[in-house]
Amino acid sequence: MARITLDHIRHAYGPNPQSDKDYALREVDHEWNDGGAYALLGPSGCGKTTLLNIISGLLQPSHGRILFDGKDVTNLATQARNIAQVFQFPVIYDTMTVYDNLAFPLRNRGVAEPEVDRRVRDMLEVIDLAPMARRKAQGLTADQKQKISLGRGLVRNDVNAILFDEPLTVIDPHMKWVLRSQLKRLHKQFGFTMVYVTHDQTEALTFADKVVVMYEGEIVQIGTPTELFERPSHTFVGYFIGSPGMNVIPAKLDGNRVTVGAETLSLDYVPKAAAGAKTELGIRPEFIRIGREGMPVTINRVEDIGRQKIVRADFAGQPISIVVTEDAEIPAEARVTFDPTAINIYANSWRVGREG
- The residue type of 191 is G
63 versus 335: smaller Cβ distance to ligand ATP: 63
**Minimum gap (Å) between residue 50 Cβ and ligand ATP:** 3
Alpha-helical (H) ranges within 84-195 are 98-108, 113-126, 142-154, 173-190
24 versus 102: smaller Cβ distance to ligand ATP: 24
**Minimum gap (Å) between residue 1 Cβ and ligand ATP:** 24
Closest to 45 (Cα-Cα) out of 185, 188, 199: 199
Q: Are strands 335-338 and 295-296 parallel, antiparallel or unpaired?
A: antiparallel
DSSP character at residue 137: G
46 versus 323: smaller Cβ distance to ligand ATP: 46
Q: To which H or E segment does residue 41 belong?
A: strand 37-41
23 versus 192: smaller Cβ distance to ligand ATP: 23
**Minimum gap (Å) between residue 43 Cβ and ligand ATP:** 7
**Minimum gap (Å) between residue 153 Cβ and ligand ATP:** 19
**Minimum gap (Å) between residue 237 Cβ and ligand ATP:** 15
49 versus 149: smaller Cβ distance to ligand ATP: 49
Is 106 in contact with 114 (CB distance < 8 Å)? Answer: no
13 versus 269: smaller Cβ distance to ligand ATP: 13
120 versus 171: smaller Cβ distance to ligand ATP: 171
325 half-sphere exposure, CB direction, 13 A CA radius: 4
**Minimum gap (Å) between residue 199 Cβ and ligand ATP:** 5
**Minimum gap (Å) between residue 172 Cβ and ligand ATP:** 21
93 versus 239: smaller Cβ distance to ligand ATP: 239
Is 65 in contact with 7 (CB distance < 8 Å)? Answer: yes
Closest to 237 (Cα-Cα) out of 218, 217, 216, 213: 213
**Which residues are near ligand ATP by CB under 6 A?**
13, 24, 42, 44-50, 199
Contacts of 228 (CB under 8 A, 6+ apart): 205, 211, 213, 221, 237, 241
**Minimum gap (Å) between residue 42 Cβ and ligand ATP:** 6
Burial 107-142 (b: 16+ CB within 10 A, else e): eeeebeeeebeebbeebbebbebeebeeeebeebee
Closest to 287 (Cα-Cα) out of 335, 246, 334: 246
**Minimum gap (Å) between residue 77 Cβ and ligand ATP:** 18
50 versus 233: smaller Cβ distance to ligand ATP: 50
Contacts of 158 (CB under 8 A, 6+ apart): 82, 109
Is 232 in contact with 246 (CB distance < 8 Å)? Answer: yes
Q: To which H or E segment does residue 67 belong?
A: strand 63-68
